[in-house]
Chains A and B, each alone.
Chain A
Amino acid sequence: MKVRILRQQFPGSAPYWETFEYDGPEDNSVAGVLDYLNYHDDIVDADGKRTTRIGWECSCLQGICGACAMVIDGQPALACETFLRDIQGKEITIRPLQKFPVIHDLVVDRSSIHENLKQADVCIGEYRPSADADHAHQYAAAKCLKCGLCLEVCPNYVNGETFFGAAFANDCYLVASRNRAEDRRIRTVYAEHFAKTCSKSLSCMEVCPMKIPTLASMAKLNRMKR
């Protein structure tokens, strides 16, 4: 199987495609493929020429930390839970998330997600639940990995300068629902950095590895207005 990877040596350098030949186990995940290419033997491209090892980020390898988010065959996904058995054809293309600055190869800097939440001061502070709190939805929203897949796929999210995307909306819901004293302030920043721009394509929900129903977060935040 051919594996085409969009690579970049360092921040700001020119990206380039490189193709590898993968002959490892067929039941591997894409994370397993990257590991195999890097360390099964000396690393060479599909023409047998020596090349550099592929940079990528991983931690849990079981879909609960969000480190290995990347774009696989055009689809934003976690490499550790995308399996070769689900890939059509004899070639995979892998590239880094495009909405974030590339550090090296498939490693990107997603710190803007955190910075935006900090800037808008999205914090629970003290637990003062609303009377009609939806516990199951709070549990789901708190599982957000901050992996950035929802932002990568979002047609409204550009670079996080004004519109902060679904990860922001879910944290806003979590704060507003778990501290009723904060709901008014949070709804203001939510309106400013999410609601007024979101065109509700809902593609964020399709790619979310935690299957967070962001639409429910939006509906619940809207309902709090009444």
Chain B
Amino acid sequence: MKHVLIIGSGISGMACAVRCAERGLRVTLASPFPSERSQSVMAAGGINAVLPEGEPGDSVSSHVEDTLKGGCGLGGERAVTGLCEHGGEILRYLEGIGTVFSVDGHGRPLRRAFGGQSHKRTYYCGASTGKQIVSALVMEARRFEAAGLIERRLWCCFHSALIEDGVCHGAMLFDEARGGLEAVYADAVVIATGGQNAMFGKTTGSTQCDGYAAGKLFMQGAELKNLEFIQYHPTTLETPQKRMLISEAARGEGGRLFTRADGRNIYFMEEKYGPGGNLMTRDVVSREIDALGGNVFLDISFLGKDAIDERLPEVRDLCAKYGGIDVTREPIPVEPSVHFFMGGLAVRLNHETNIRNLFAVGECASMYHGANRLGGNSLLAAIYSGNVAADEIASRKEEAPAHPDFSGVLEHEKARLAESRDTQSQFPVMYIRDMLAETMQKRLGIVRDEANLMKGVDDIDYYLSIAGRLNYDPNVMPYFNYSLTAILTLARATVTCALSRRESRGAHWRSDFPETDEAQRSATIIKYDGGKYSVRLDEERAYES
């Protein structure tokens, strides 16, 4: 029986695990914490699908068209078509495993409008769609755990992949509970570790998602793609510790953005883009808010208490708890924040990276969304990508090559870890992580330019130059200490990609190159080789078509 090691137990990791188990594969599902702690539970607004009983006139081809258009021509047509064609099936699947969707009086799932979409096709569970899907998938995974097909390994952090001659044979995991490093061999490894939010410090995302796995695999030879495309969500609430996401559902249900000038409210999105202005794509709305320099509010109070209580209770509670705002009576002060990463590990249609038997799914993989993601497509892509990878692994007939002996590498890494703990230093790696976050926020904002990006390169190169020379505090989780260099390397790669794309497209906006250049209508691919970063455009479309 084939053995699949899945790193990360959010929605994409669980979807992949369940699908593998359904196909008779044995799965190890490794993550530091249970699925309930994953960033997936924070996905709020909904999941896109075209169902026969959906909005009249809607079709899979409309969904494909909207997704490609939203992605500003960088999403691959074959990949996106596959995603959208499976939307209906995935929605039925989620219903079938017991996801508690919001439903009408006949028990049919409800839809709401979402940004950049020609039809109302975003199915939802209040404003906690991700949480409800996680709850259902946890139960489904549990069924296969009880049957012995899925083994959950908690407290396990990814350390590195076991790669020889371009083939992945498993991964090294650091077990926080047992305090040890171990090699886990597998016929296929699936990375499902989410985006790199923590690289930016305060974002809408989880503190757990830091991009380490993508950075480490990059250093081990995996190619990365489209790193410069970082989605700023237009409506977040600033709090001392994080940016709270005010779901796009608030605008989908009718919420209006305005700014105040000369004592009156100016509904700037509607004035510029017409009645649908509040639901333009996220890149456009974020840029408009950024251009105003603050003083922007989102008003849902006119929807009335009943509608808010019924359809947006999570938005109501979040604003009350963290902002002291009664959304039924007053507007919400909002500003854009880093929210989602369109870039990540480069994968082919079957979700395999350039390293044989190493797959990536969910947000850590770069696929479908091009230069800007549509709301409601990330949950769909998380499940679809997990399914695609599982089907590919299950359908491979050839025997996986025998695993080489990695015990020498394991012993070497164990010794390095022991060395890093054998120190009296008080220097916390978090100080460098904080400096990195400040750099990333400052240099990779909504609008970029070469001079600013070059300062980012200088900053990160400096952090990289000292990262290897410092002794770190042995009292924090070893993960924080061993992960730093790869996170910095990923950050360096991101700024390098942003510098190399000398045009404006989707979420990548350059004030020094404000036009879109059709000659650059291809994905950015970046490769790492011993400290050197080489960037190219994927003009042959090797990765997504």
Contacts and interface: CB of A to CB of B under 8 A. Distances in A.
Partners in one complex: yes
A123 B143 contact: yes
B300 to A, nearest CB: 18
B139 A39 contact: no
B9 to A, nearest CB: 11
A64 B128 contact: yes
A39 B431 contact: yes
B34 A146 contact: yes
B96 interface: yes
Given A25-B240, A39-B430, A146-B34, A123 B146 contact: yes
Q: How large is the interface on B (under 10, 10 to 19, 20 to 34, 35 or more residues)?
A: 35 or more
Which 9 pairs between the two chains have the least Cβ-Cβ distance? Answer: A124-B98, A52-B475, A123-B143, A142-B135, A178-B98, A59-B37, A59-B206, A65-B37, A139-B100
B143 A59 contact: no
B434 interface: yes
A63 B207 contact: no
A175 B139 contact: yes
Nearest to A111: B154
Contact of A62 (B34, B42, B132): B42
A117 B240 contact: no
A125 B107 CA distance: 19
Given A139-B132, A179-B98, 15 more contacts: A28-B241, A39-B431, A61-B241, A64-B42, A111-B34, A118-B145, A121-B146, A124-B136, A124-B139, A124-B140, A125-B97, A126-B96, A127-B96, A139-B125, A142-B135
A123 B139 contact: yes
A67 B428 contact: no
B125 A67 contact: no
Nearest to B204: A62
Interface in B464-492: 473, 475-477
A32 B131 CA distance: 24
Nearest to A114: B34
Interface in A139-176: 139, 142-147, 171, 174-175
A128 to B, nearest CB: 9
24 contacts: A27-B240, A39-B430, A53-B428, A53-B473, A60-B41, A61-B241, A62-B318, A66-B36, A81-B321, A103-B155, A103-B176, A114-B34, A114-B152, A117-B142, A118-B145, A124-B136, A124-B139, A127-B96, A127-B97, A139-B100, A142-B132, A143-B131, A144-B135, A146-B34
A202 B41 CA distance: 27
Given A39-B431, A39-B434, A124-B139, A60 B107 contact: no
B244 interface: yes
Given A53-B476, A129-B107, A139-B126, A64 B131 contact: yes
A127 B95 CA distance: 7
A32 B41 contact: no
Interface in A26-61: 27-29, 31-32, 35, 38-39, 42-43, 50, 52-53, 55, 57-61
Contacts of A80: 241
A135 interface: yes
Contacts of B177: 11, 103, 109
Contacts of A109: 177
B533 interface: no
Contacts of A126: 96-98
Nearest to B473: A53
A179 B125 CA distance: 19
Given A60-B41, A61-B241, A146-B34, A174 B131 contact: no
Interface string B161-204: 00000000000000011000000000000000000000000000
A121 B428 contact: no
A97 B419 CA distance: 33
